[in-house]
Structure 1
Amino acid sequence: MHPGPGGAPTLHLHPTRRCNLACGHCYSSSSPYAADRLEPALALGAIRQAAQWGYRRLAISGGEPLLYPWLGELVDTAAGFGMQSGVVTNGLLTGRPGVLDILKRCDSVAVSIDGLHAAHDALRGRPGALSGALAALDSMVDAGIPTSVVCGVSRFNVDEVEHVAAMARAHGASMLQLHVVASSGRARDNLGAQLLDERGLQELYMTARLLACLYHETMQVHVDLVHRDVIAALPGLVYGAPVEHAALRSPAEVLGMLVVEPDGNVNPVCFGFGAEYGLGRIGSGGLARLWSPWVTRGYVRLTALGRQLWEQARRHEGARLLNPSDALNQASHTSRVVLEQIGLAKREEVV
């Protein structure tokens, strides 16, 4: 599955769920009171193993990664293995001593901006949050750090996307990533009625294309939406085309995105993926001990799920535009009947 705009096999590390904010649309329900945190030995071991498996990029988010005490070690370890690193932050802690020095060692840093002042500050639950995020962008650009902006889009802020793009460019961002807020984490409870419907997805898709043309010389603009006809033509986008002899291939060739969560759970595709499809929990044996059992059973589950989504796209069922990762994630939580029909439910396994 395509892991993102860069296309490189990616280890997505969520080292902590602790955050200085408790945003209303947070997919991981992070907050100042969340305690889940990966021990540094486990996080560093995951990076080393992922690099040996062929993963070329490390994406670090959270929670707020700037609250993880060993962030610099993660970035430096990845670089030592030839991996590029990217960090996603709300930007409010970049003024802390030593933070910019760590971020200078990253290949990219993304700041989350979700609308103009009223919308952004309301979602973040913090007056002045947008001013702080823009100040962080300015300080990183001045320090020579490649920066981008990530905007979570819902009905709450969809009318401000063009203004967010102008603001991102004015503050030196080289990329704007528009992400459709999905029904997961805190957003499920707080923004249910505010999530984009089919028409909203179409309008966002067209807006993103227009913005990409407008800023083509100065800033890349991406939206994580794909037309179902593309999925119908390219089933690999949703793991709908099984890799021949998957057990003989490197993990990076089989899974484009490998996700390690703050509690040590390892998932394909994205944070919070259905438990039926997970690789298990990292322990003293690290990632290595999880792969062989998963690729012989879990990968079959994942491709069955992907083929189900691919068949829907091929038959033109469901939304015309979708985020493949979010669509797979939603399906992973509602597909128990399918797994039981093909004899792949976890309860049937002999451990």
Structure 2
Amino acid sequence: LPLTTRELRRRFLGRFGRHANLAEIDRTVRQLDDLGFVAEPVPGVVRADEAVWLDPESIPIAPESVHLQLTNACNLRCPSCYVGVQATDEGSLSLERLLTLVDEIAELGVFQLALGGGEPLMSPHAVPVVQHARRRGLLSHVTTNGWLLTKSLVAQLREAIGEVRLSFNDGFSISQEFLAKKAALLQAEGVPFGVNVIVTHRNVRQVSELLRWFVSLRPATITLIRPKPSPHNRTWYDANALSAHDSWLLLRQLRRLEPLFTETDLTVDCAFSHLFGGLSEAELAARGVAGCSMGERFVVVASNGDVYPCSYLRREEFKAGNVIEQSFSRIWQTSPLLARLRARQEYSDGHCGPRAKRQISVGCRAIQVNAAQCASVP
């Protein structure tokens, strides 16, 4: 039977407690309303003061998204990659173990499976995993450089995939002409697609031009990604990290381009949370801006089964467990590392005091840890 909007919101908020993303809850309720599952019209956005919170220290029953790295192997050598140019497919999970993992996260109540790598389409298990996830009620997204996208492969994914995300890494290895061809292929096959764009010190002044061109491809979503350091890309990061002035230039361009986004959604990753610094807490909650949510709303399962809070923190001290040795649900519910992250207990390399930790607690913790520049990281 149809539920009222108040009851739907209460159930969402009761399920995820303080880890809920209010803006996404509201969008979901509106979609359900459009489909006839809501017993009354949706009156407006969810406000922070409407929340029915659980114990502040409660564990979210499930992450909203699990980022599954199918393989470390890749057919490109992008200098921005967190995996490293010498990565191979050795030690990746078997298809049987991957399907079992999909079953586990589906039973736990995860909303979305985000497939990456490496280049996920290099894995022979990509299509079976996407199709099995669909049978289990999971929505899958695949992030790819696009080189292996063919009409035949897209046809196999079409009925099971939620969205294909095409990566545009500051012009490295992927040209605009190539991207346009892959976008046309996906559109012809009726597969929703989005574009991930890394905004760097080198291209930040061309963001307006790039976004106008990307919008002309008619993607469902364009996501702007901030450069992040890893042990494998530090030279690239040092040359491409955004300065405070770069962030100001980006924000100024985005404000001018707002009327452009009527059919395409423009989103930014959590490392750009500082762009919203002028909003009140209530406005931040309504827009779903919560800063870094690793370990709360998402976790990463590496190709060998190791579980990490973030793709850029694939280090032993940030390993929460391994899905071969423990069930995913046990790792999610009992990992001391994930518990500390949910409590916003920041890691420090010794250069940051408590005040600095609070200042960056809503920013990118991978930048804090890997770049050791706490004082300047929002």
Structural mapping, 1:166-245, within 5 Å:
166-211=212-257, 213-224=258-269, 225-227=272-274, 229=277, 233=281, 237=290
- Kept in 1: contact 2:158–2:189 (CA 8 A): no
Kindly indicate whether structure 1 or structure 2 has the higher relative contact order, using CA contacts under 8 Å at least 6 residues apart.
1
The amino acid that maps onto 1:58 is L
Q: SS at 2:233's partner residue?
A: helix
Farther off after superposition, 130-139 or 83-92: 130-139
Question: Which residue identity is paired with 1:111?
Answer: L
Match of 2:185 among 127, 139, 147: 139
With over 3 angstroms needed to count, the CA separation of the structure-2 counterparts of 1:193 and 1:17, relative to structure 1, is same
Change (3 A) 1:199 1:103: farther
Shift of 1:49: 1.2
**Using the alignment, how far apart are the partners of 1:328 and 1:82 within structure 2?**
32
- Work out which of the residue numbers 167, 187, 197 in structure 2 matches 1:151: 197
> Which residue number corresponds to residue 13 of structure 2?
none
Query: Aligned Cα RMSD in Å?
Result: 3.6
Residue by residue over 1:98-142, the C-alpha shift from the partner in whole angstroms, topping out at 9 and shown as x without a partner, is 344224521111111234xxxx1xx22xxx744322211110011
Q: Deviations over 1:274-301 (max 9, x none)?
A: 533432122154424434541xx22343
Mapped contact 1:11–1:55 kept (Cα < 8 A):
yes
Tell me the distance in 2 between the aligned counterparts of 1:237 and 1:144: 33
Q: Distance in 2 between matches of 1:167 and 1:13?
A: 30
Q: Which residue of 1 aligns with 2:300?
A: 259
For 1:21, the equivalent position in structure 2 comes to: 76
- Decide whether the 8 Å contact of 1:18 with 1:33 is kept in 2: yes
Determine the C-alpha separation between the residues in 2 that align with 1:307 and 1:113.
Answer: 31
User: Counterpart of 1:109 in 2: which secondary structure?
Assistant: strand
Among candidates 308, 331, 350, match of residue 290 of structure 1: 331
SS at match of 1:82: coil
Task: State the partner residue of 1:345.
Answer: none
Per the alignment, residue 301 of structure 1 pairs with 340
Matching residue of 1:46: 101
Q: Structure 1 pair 62/86, CA: closer, same or farther in 2 (3 Å)? A: same
The one-letter code sitting in structure 1 at the alignment partner of 2:367 is: Q
Deviation at 1:11, TM superposition (A): 0.8
Would you say the 8 A contact 2:70–2:123 is kept in 1?
yes
> How far apart, in 1, do the equivalents of 2:346 and 2:279 lie?
10
TM-score, scaled to structure 1: 0.74
| Offset, 1:69 | 0.6
Aligned pairs for 1:19-168 within 5 A: 19-30=74-85, 33=88, 35-95=90-150, 97-115=152-170, 120=171, 123-124=172-173, 129-168=175-214
| Number of residue-to-residue matches in the alignment | 305
- Look up the equivalent residue of 1:281 and give its one-letter code: N
1:100–1:140 CA contact under 8 A, matched in 2: no
Q: Which runs of 5+ in 2 are unaligned?
A: 1-18, 26-62, 373-378
Indicate conservation of the 8 Å contact 2:154/2:186, yes or no: no
Separation in 2, partners of 1:222, 1:3: 14
SS in 2 for 1:107: strand
How far the C-alpha of 1:6 sits from its partner, in A, is 5.5
Cα distance in 1 for partners of 2:134, 2:65 equals: 14
- Partners of 1:26 and 1:185 within 8 A in 2: no
Contact 2:158 2:190 (C-alpha < 8 Å) held by counterparts: no
* Segment of structure 1 superposing worse, 175-184 or 304-313: 304-313
Matches within 5 A, 1:5-16: 9-16=64-71
1:312 is displaced (CA, Å) by 4.3
Question: Partners in 2 of 1:113 and 1:148 — Cα distance?
Answer: 11
TM-fit CA distance, 1:307:
5.9
Residues 20/159 of structure 1: CA separation in 2 closer, same or farther (3 Å cut): same
Letter in 1 for 2:366: N
Q: Which residue of 2 aligns with 1:344?
A: none
Q: 1:44 to 1:207 in 2, by over 3 A?
A: farther
Aligned CA distance change for structure 1 residues 170 and 291 (closer, same or farther; 3 Å): closer
Deviation digits for residues 200-229 of structure 1 (CA, Å, limit 9, x no counterpart): 122223323333x13232211112211375
**Sequence identity of aligned pairs in percent?**
22
Paired amino acid for 1:83 = L
Do 1:42 and 1:286's aligned partners in 2 also have CA atoms closer than 8 Å? Answer: no
